[in-house]
Structure 1
């Protein structure tokens, strides 16, 4: 699992750490720097090592980009990351849910595929 995620979000570019509440906003040039080496065995840039140590008390010295930082691209329509869990459905009965109880059913398989194609067409990366 990646230690950090660099992602566009709501018109800004952010770096987050899975499981942590805090994050950091970065300029486009730094996001582009990360994107240019994302899948490589290049070491993490010094500025990122410093910020990760300060923000999350994590030492990533010696880590390589492809294993440590997931860099999500900007999408054509500017959407951020979204998830869609393919399962039978939601019964809206979680203790934190504010909606009334619903019948436990989901979309038929063909409609799930259609939703995934619509998301992909909008620029949302699937299966990543």
Structure 2
């Protein structure tokens, strides 16, 4: 398992450590730097070690960045297509957990979706 992950999320770009609630917001340009470095490009950007130490109080992991960092692509589904993405994923047999503050549950189509395809 990768020790770090970088991904677009709701119009932002985040550097995350699986299992930890804290993350680092990064600009899109830094996400692209990480993508290039993790796919065999130049070594890790200089700012990465500082970001890791500041966020999680750990040193920069050793070894190839491609083994340490997973950079996710932008989703083709996005939030407006949640129902389609959810239905597609459950159709593939992917186990899904939905965390929500309930802000969308007043919509009949969302209640119907979860009644038909339980998380």
Query: Which TM-score bucket, shorter chain as reference?
Result: 0.5 to 0.7
The corresponding residue for 2:93 is: 86
* Aligned CA-pair RMSD: 3.1
1:64 alignment counterpart: 64
Q: Return closer, same or farther for 1:63/1:54 CA change in 2, 3 Å cut-off.
A: farther
Match of 2:19 in 1: 19
Q: 5+ unaligned residues in a row in structure 1: which ranges?
A: 89-106, 108-128
1:28 aligned residue? 28
Deviation at 1:77, TM superposition (A): 4.5
Bigger share in helix = 2
Deviates more, 1:54-63 or 1:20-29: 54-63
Tell me by how many angstroms 1:32 deviates.
0.8
Partner of 1:8: helix, strand, or coil?
A: strand
Mapped contact 2:16–2:22 kept (Cα < 8 A):
yes
Q: Secondary structure at the match of 2:36?
A: helix
For residue 58 of structure 1, report the CA deviation from its aligned partner: 1.4
* Alignment coverage as a number of residue pairs: 89
TM-score under structure 1 length normalisation: 0.57
Larger Rg: 1
* Secondary structure of the structure 2 residue equivalent to 1:5: strand
Q: Is the 8 A contact 2:36 2:42 kept in 1?
A: no
Contact 1:44 1:63 in 2 (8 A): no
- Structure 2 alignment gaps of length 5 or more: 96-116
Structure 2 counterpart of 1:47:
47
